[in-house]
Amino acid sequence: MIKARGFDWVQLPGRKVRIPRTTNSDAVSLVDHWTAAVIAAGNAASGQSSWSNLAKHWETSAAKLEAMAAFAFKPHAQFADNPRLWVELSKISIGLNAIKATPTTWEYVYDSTSEALNEVPAKIKRVSKEVAKELKVVARAGGGVVGAVATGFGGELSLGVLAIGAGALYLYTRKRK
């Protein structure tokens, strides 16, 4: 568009930019194009609060821009508020891009649930190691007591030997009663 019609320098807050010269018919076509994009994006972004603000802002701006273009009655004349047109087009294109990149509420729920479920095996492994470590401490303590009596097992007893010994002791004392 710049090659076809040229451009104007416009001072925006903090910077000076080139904007294409736009006719009234260009303005109507651009607003129609971006309105269709807003409608299409609305189906995907309906659960986002930022979406409703963006859509309302665009609806208001688009109506004003189209009214200005239609009021001129000259399709090939330069659009009267060309800088505002391009600022609004920039806002809506950036806003739509941000909406596409922002997950919906359900995407957040799905992603967080999936992430939590993916972490379950690692958590089970970690907890199992902690339980095994604690059982080893208990076995060592028990092994020390039983080991002092039964020197054939050495200084430590495995958990299995300790359980078998405790079970045998229980059965032995039960039978004697």
Three-state SS sequence of the chain = CHHHHCEEEEEECCEEEEEECCEHHHHHHHHHHHHHHHHHHHHHCCCCHHHHHHHHHHHHHHHHHHHHHHHHCCCCCECCCHHHHHHHHHHHHHHHHHHHHCCCHHHHHHHHHHHHHHHHHHHHHHHHHHHHHHHHHHHHHHHHHHHHHCHHHCCCCCHHHHHHHHHHHHHHHHHHC
**Of 143 and 84, which is predicted with more confidence?**
84
pLDDT tens digits, residue range 29-83?
888 888 888 887 776 655 566 677 788 888 888 888 888 877 767 888 888 888 8
List the domain boundaries for the chain: 2-102, 119-176
Whole-structure pTM value: 0.52
pLDDT tens digits, residue range 106-118?
666 677 777 777 7
